[in-house]
Structure 1
Amino acid sequence: MKQYIMVIDEGTTGTRAIIFDDNFQPIAQSYDEFIQYTPNENMVEHDAMEIYEKSVRMCQNALEKASLSSSDIRCIGITNQRNTALLWDKKTGEPLYHALVWQDSRMGEASNAIRESEFFDELLEVSGKNVTPHLDVLFLKWFLDNVEGARKSRKRRGDFWYD
């Protein structure tokens, strides 16, 4: 039985599912855009459930176009939006808020404050990562400070939150 590879590309503006044959030639694909929410000029958000639902639908569409079933797929590769961040409720599996997209700069002032601080050079040397407004930890801070329920089951020990 011939086997195929499926790739799911979660882009900035939409979801694409592509099916490749054993020679890595594309045999079917499906694409659909999702809504870009911009509550302010420096904010870009996505609805995580919309992305999930479109991902499932695009995979189903690609399989139908190729006249294949899920059992014909050998493996699935996924690429995503890099620094887009999201918090899920671990009990319900529902997102607590929209995903904050890598283009979002709502944490610009916080990233500037870190870059201007006395410990920034050491942080950069140790981590190798520059501090930008879309840094995941800054998005996490925004979620914890602004989203109802984000701190709900968290306990604090010193400077750290844990379950």
Structure 2
Amino acid sequence: MPDYEKLLQANLPEALESALEELDRAFDIPKQLLQANVSAFEELSCCVFGYFARDDIFYLNKKGRELLRMRLPSLDEHRNSGPPIFWLEDDANLAAADQFVANRQKPILETRELITLAWGKTWLHGSKFPVRNVQGQTIALFFAGHELPPSRQIKLVADHYQQNQHQIGDN
């Protein structure tokens, strides 16, 4: 079991690297990741989530659960029930980054991710990491990052919709 005090004192990249090293090349099949000890991710000060595919998220850490819950309406009666449901935006550029990390089997340290919830979308800035099986094949990805400030969110949303608008009208 990791020493939490040392993990929290380490800077973010070292703490993430340590937590990811415990998962990397430790399992034969993706399903085994569901039983992995992910306690090292729980106290990190950033949103961390793991996914097999963009539509198959299997883990969200404590900070991520807090981030996504703070956006819920205050009168929501389900506020304290289970982790919030979210999904990753189905965007070609974001999916290409996933594919790049999976194929190259090295992290991208400066990237974004667009999270979609029932109330809307929010952009995160961070890093994507591959998790490989014992044979060295990528079986999952982890994202670790922070929500972007509102001013940056507005610009990214405008840019995102402008790019998608051109694709919708093209024949």
Do both share a fold (TM > 0.5)?
Answer: no
Indicate the structure with greater helix content: 2
TM-score by length of 1: 0.19
TM-score by length of 2: 0.19
